[in-house]
Structure 1
Amino acid sequence: MGGTQEKQPNAQLTSWFVRSGWSKGELARQVNRRARQLGAHHVSTDTSRVRRWLDGEQPREPIPRIMSELFSERFGCVVPVEDLGLRSAHQPAAGGDVDLPWAGPQTVQLISEFSRSDLMLGRRGFLGASLALSAGPALIEPMQRWLVPTNGPLGTADQDGPLLSAPRDTAGRPSRLSEQELQLLESTTVMFREWDNQCGGGLRRKAVVGQLHEVTDLLQEPQSEHVARRLYRITADLAALAGWMSYDVGLQPTAQKYLVLALHAAKEAGDRPLGAFILSSMSRQMIHLNRPDDALELIHLAQYGSRDTATATTQAMLHSLEARAYANMGQVNKCHRAVRMAEDTWTDSRPDEDPSWISFFNEAELNAENAHSYRDLAYVAGRSPAYASLAHPVMERAVELFSDDAVHQRAYALNLVGLATVHLLQESPEQAAHFTDRAITVAKRVRSERVNTRIRKTTQSAVRDYGGVAEVVALADRLSVELPEVAESA
């Protein structure tokens, strides 16, 4: 007797949905809003459609990817499509979005194609619909190949790091680029970083992607080996910045892809300190996504790969991120040791010797990272007042230093929120509301969805625990009026 197989309820999706606290209507609205941001204007869902998904109906792309991103953001960890009980139209192989060939021409081509697609599609996050976040071995194992020399007929030894794959047909050929033009490209990258620190990733991201695409065009032309190395370094720096800006506005898969491509370009440049910096950005993303084990693996890879070449400032930054990873893993003694290493190494810092990309890591940032490590320990230890008291003076010092810094406005806002969370841990809701209110004022000048999200989460925590406190009520009212719910086009 023939018949159709009856659909089974999607228990996995139902579990995530119930824990999210969303209603069916809220999930439908979020899916529609994200779809419009992706340019998928054909998507129009409602509560009845959500009910059918929970009952076992399989939605078509890009909805599985959209829901993966929404639940990942909601829970602060990677929630793959498969964990939602959904099927994607195209399931990439493990590591498929990050396990790329370590060779110069392929790296240039991949960056050129990816940046062109980002520019042409034009809609915020559209690339995220065709990308999947990689984590665990699928991410770590491909990144370990950063340390493996690329032996081959085009390879030339680099005394400072890996081998450089020379561009085609460049032997003895003079470069079309002058020294002045190369310096201008390098200084433009520095300017973009300053804009990012001051204005957030949402304002200039596409300008950085456009500049990146232009530089890859130059790398596809005949260049001398010396010029090619500098162009690869500029490419790595720009791709890392494009990745960081994408992360800042909430485009997590796009951010990861840019950072992976940046690491490939840094290897071609033979610049291991820059590669270590790129790995540190990937580590920050993993901490944000509640993957501290992956974050620690990436930091250790960065430390090992740059141990003889990185400046004291870069080493201090890596130690501070190591402490953040240990804190989120609940490894108290190792966290304390990494904090001390960061502080001790910082005393040897010589800013005049530092590359431009590490200029953000100053005394304020050192205090901020260490304070967040103690704050994270407090949360992991069940809102421990002892660790909160350790975090408090260090976070106050970071806020004090950032308040006099006209450039690092995003960091200022983030640390105002950080201080607010410490006050919540210490059961001081009035002070928590005060510093969150100050953060909103700064956030309105900074286009950073990361800042906005942290402000919302901190406010929600304050309302949940201290909803009757007048200052908390006023904060919630101001947030609903003045802070936009979703960042505009990146």
Structure 2
Amino acid sequence: MCTGTEPISNHSGRAHRDCAEPDADSLKVRHQRLRGQEMPQPMKELNPGASPQEWFGNELRELRKADRLSAAALGRLVQVSDDMILAIEKGKYPSCRRDVAQRLDDVFRTGGLFDRAWPMVFGNRDADRKRADADTRAAGREEGAVQVRTSRILGSDEPSPRPGSHEPVDRRSFLQVSGLAAFAPIDLTQVFAPSDGLTLPKDVSPTEIDQVLAAATAISGMDNKLGGGGMVRDVASRAMQWAAGLLQVQCAEHLRADLFASVSRLGIVVGASAFDAYHHEEATKTFKFAADCAEEAGDWHLRAKTYSFLARQAVWIGAPDDGITYAEKGLVRSDRLTATEQAMLHAARARAFGKMGNVRDTMAAVGAADEAFTRARPSEDPPWMAYYDAAQHNGDTAHALFDLAILAGQDPGRAARRFDTAVKGHSDSFKRSRAISRTKLAALVMAKGDPRQAAAIGHDALDEVGRLTSRRAADDLRQLGHFAAKHQKVQEASGLRERIAATVSA
């Protein structure tokens, strides 16, 4: 059946359709609805002849202006952020994905113009970057203290961040917290006395790199089982300072990438722990530091993981638009990522769109996440991606669908089924994730279904959440209590609410 949205390619210009065009009045109403409320800003003058990227950007800008669409409105239509649209127009986006080019063709009915141009404009950028990286390494190869250079992965081509977005993080800032002890990360159970400085080696060897990775694995395990507060937070902070200190000492050139990768991995874990404990400023700083280290190491997988966490944190603190931006940054050159990592980032996009109550884009992002996950091959993933299994995927996408059910009146059954799969699939090693999914399932049933059934699920969640130090889990309990308060005449709901109040205030 023709929906009025399917284009048929035509090389002579905009596509013809095999069904009726929307009339002018309906298109006008559509564009008025989609137009953002942006303050007028002077646009950068483009020179279409300067580069293929500026030609591509100029074509896009001209079409957008002709249709009187804001960058934000166009971004919603093609499922990307307004930052990405503006960066493409300026010729500054490192590698526009081909599916984005194809969606631009669909919106503007170009007959495939952007899709045909994509190989010439973006297809050869990676080879250029590789040659530039090789030249840089050849010119600057020397032994000595590690220095953070311009990003190896994206270099200067990454879009300029808007306020609050990704900025370089000074690794020395991790060394300036007074009163924290030197930390030998291989022994996480040792009690450390405060000292005036960090006990660091004279030179970085593979032993120190292995210690950083061992710390990351151990802290991640504790965080997933216990939450990010209490002792876990203290151990994580000390480990991060020690690891960051390694970047100040001598390191052989052949160990540099491994060192930066190990510190990035630890930064992801420590940032996640701070996020869970609601130390958001510290979490953001640590995630961005981890992203810088990943770029310096040339590790696309670690880079993707850091932006996934930044996206999830942005959504959690009420900045879903920033969450979309971070997820889009993570998806740059998605061909370099495993299918599991692609699913993880599309799920983050879905959660951001869901928090906005944007039904169409949420469902599209969930669909993209599901499609990627069907292609997942655990043997292709880094070892630390093993957590993203069917339970994690269902739980992440269920959060997005939960928001659609609550905010946009969509079918709650879609989210409920995924939360149930997550609860049944999470092992004891992921008690926090299991508890959060169970709590959200109870909240969904309490809001949209049988409050007595919801109360039974909620008590099971409380049995597990009560042993965690997770602020996120506690806030989800408060939301469940809020929904339970709407059923004051249901004894089971009232009993659950009283128990929640006692638990979160303890």
1:250 alignment partner, SS class = coil
1:201 alignment partner, SS class = coil
Amino acid in structure 2 at the alignment position of 1:255: A
Residue 426 of structure 1 is matched in structure 2 by 448
Q: How far did residue 284 of structure 1 move?
A: 0.8
How far apart, CA to CA, are the structure 2 residues paired with 1:378 and 1:272? 34
2:335 alignment partner, SS class = coil
Residue 261 of structure 1 is matched in structure 2 by 289
Amino acid in structure 2 at the alignment position of 1:353: E
Q: How far did residue 119 of structure 1 move?
A: 3.8
Q: For 1:335-374, list aligned pairs within 5 A.
A: 335-374=362-401
Q: For 1:13-162, list aligned pairs within 5 A.
A: 100-101=167-168, 107-113=170-176, 116-117=177-178, 119=180
Amino acid in structure 1 at the alignment position of 2:290: A
Is 1:309 the counterpart of 2:329? The answer is no
Among candidates 432, 436, 441, match of residue 414 of structure 1: 436
How far apart, CA to CA, are the structure 2 residues paired with 1:365 and 1:231? 29
Query: Cα deviation per residue 1:332-356 (whole Å; 9 max; x = unaligned)?
Result: 2222222122112112222232223
How far apart, CA to CA, are the structure 1 residues paired with 2:168 and 2:350? 32
Q: How far did residue 388 of structure 1 move?
A: 0.7
Query: Cα deviation per residue 1:428-462 (whole Å; 9 max; x = unaligned)?
Result: 11122122211111112221111011102211221
2:334 alignment partner, SS class = coil
Q: How far did residue 177 of structure 1 move?
A: 4.3
Asked whether the 8 Å contact 2:265–2:290 carries over to 1, the reply is: yes
Asked whether the 8 Å contact 2:338–2:376 carries over to 1, the reply is: yes
1:255 alignment partner, SS class = helix
Q: How far did residue 414 of structure 1 move?
A: 0.4
Unaligned runs of 5+ residues in structure 2 are 1-160, 182-201
Q: For 1:290-305, list aligned pairs within 5 A.
A: 290-304=318-332
Among candidates 184, 205, 212, match of residue 240 of structure 2: 212
Residue 273 of structure 2 is matched in structure 1 by 245
Distance change in 2, residues 1:96/1:341 (3 Å): closer
How far apart, CA to CA, are the structure 1 residues paired with 2:449 and 2:352? 26
Amino acid in structure 2 at the alignment position of 1:449: R
How far apart, CA to CA, are the structure 2 residues paired with 1:418 and 1:118? 39
Among candidates 387, 404, 414, match of residue 390 of structure 1: 414
Amino acid in structure 2 at the alignment position of 1:230: D
Distance change in 2, residues 1:118/1:421 (3 Å): farther
Is 1:190 the counterpart of 2:217? The answer is yes
Is 1:401 the counterpart of 2:425? The answer is yes
2:250 alignment partner, SS class = coil
Distance change in 2, residues 1:101/1:293 (3 Å): closer
Asked whether the 8 Å contact 1:215–1:231 carries over to 2, the reply is: no
Among candidates 462, 466, 469, match of residue 447 of structure 1: 469
Is 1:329 the counterpart of 2:351? The answer is no
Asked whether the 8 Å contact 2:204–2:250 carries over to 1, the reply is: no
Q: How far did residue 274 of structure 1 move?
A: 1.0
How far apart, CA to CA, are the structure 1 residues paired with 2:345 and 2:162? 25
Amino acid in structure 1 at the alignment position of 2:370: E
1:466 alignment partner, SS class = coil
How far apart, CA to CA, are the structure 1 residues paired with 2:174 and 2:254? 20
- After alignment, is 471-480 or 366-375 more displaced? 471-480
Q: How far did residue 479 of structure 1 move?
A: 2.5
Structure number with greater CO (CA < 8 Å, separation at least 6) is 1
Amino acid in structure 1 at the alignment position of 2:274: S
Q: For 1:451-470, list aligned pairs within 5 A.
A: 451-463=473-485, 465-470=486-491
Distance change in 2, residues 1:111/1:284 (3 Å): same
Q: How far did residue 198 of structure 1 move?
A: 1.2
Among candidates 304, 312, 320, match of residue 276 of structure 1: 304
**RMSD between superposed Cα atoms in Å:** 2.4
1:220 alignment partner, SS class = coil
Asked whether the 8 Å contact 1:119–1:206 carries over to 2, the reply is: no
Q: For 1:170-181, list aligned pairs within 5 A.
A: 176-181=203-208
How far apart, CA to CA, are the structure 2 residues paired with 1:225 and 1:332? 49
Residue 234 of structure 1 is matched in structure 2 by 262
After TM superposition, the score normalised by the length of structure 2 is 0.60
How far apart, CA to CA, are the structure 2 residues paired with 1:276 and 1:395? 25
Asked whether the 8 Å contact 2:484–2:494 carries over to 1, the reply is: no
After TM superposition, the score normalised by the length of structure 1 is 0.62
Amino acid in structure 2 at the alignment position of 1:312: A
Query: Cα deviation per residue 1:134-184 (whole Å; 9 max; x = unaligned)?
Result: xxxxxxxxxxxxxxxxxxxxxxxxxxxxxxxxxxxxxxxxx9444344334
Residue 407 of structure 2 is matched in structure 1 by 380
How far apart, CA to CA, are the structure 2 residues paired with 1:97 and 1:293? 12
Distance change in 2, residues 1:453/1:226 (3 Å): same
Among candidates 306, 317, 326, match of residue 289 of structure 1: 317
Distance change in 2, residues 1:99/1:278 (3 Å): closer
Displaced runs of 4+ in structure 1, greater than 6 A?
94-99
Asked whether the 8 Å contact 1:311–1:354 carries over to 2, the reply is: yes
Asked whether the 8 Å contact 1:236–1:262 carries over to 2, the reply is: yes
Asked whether the 8 Å contact 1:201–1:248 carries over to 2, the reply is: yes
Q: How far did residue 315 of structure 1 move?
A: 0.7
Amino acid in structure 1 at the alignment position of 2:353: Y
How far apart, CA to CA, are the structure 2 residues paired with 1:400 and 1:97? 38
Q: How far did residue 185 of structure 1 move?
A: 2.7
Asked whether the 8 Å contact 1:312–1:345 carries over to 2, the reply is: yes
Amino acid in structure 2 at the alignment position of 1:468: K
Residue 121 of structure 2 is matched in structure 1 by none
Q: How far did residue 411 of structure 1 move?
A: 0.2
Q: Computing the radius of gyration over CA atoms, which structure comes out larger, 1 or 2? A: 2
Asked whether the 8 Å contact 2:213–2:266 carries over to 1, the reply is: no
Query: Cα deviation per residue 1:387-442 (whole Å; 9 max; x = unaligned)?
Result: 2122222221111112xx01000000100111012202323111221222111111
Q: How far did residue 222 of structure 1 move?
A: 0.8
Q: State the identity as a percent.
A: 28
Asked whether the 8 Å contact 1:429–1:469 carries over to 2, the reply is: yes
Distance change in 2, residues 1:434/1:118 (3 Å): farther
Asked whether the 8 Å contact 1:97–1:257 carries over to 2, the reply is: no
Q: How far did residue 196 of structure 1 move?
A: 1.0
Distance change in 2, residues 1:323/1:96 (3 Å): closer
Amino acid in structure 1 at the alignment position of 2:361: K
How far apart, CA to CA, are the structure 2 residues paired with 1:395 and 1:100? 35
How far apart, CA to CA, are the structure 2 residues paired with 1:289 and 1:422? 20
Asked whether the 8 Å contact 2:240–2:267 carries over to 1, the reply is: yes
Is 1:473 the counterpart of 2:494? The answer is yes
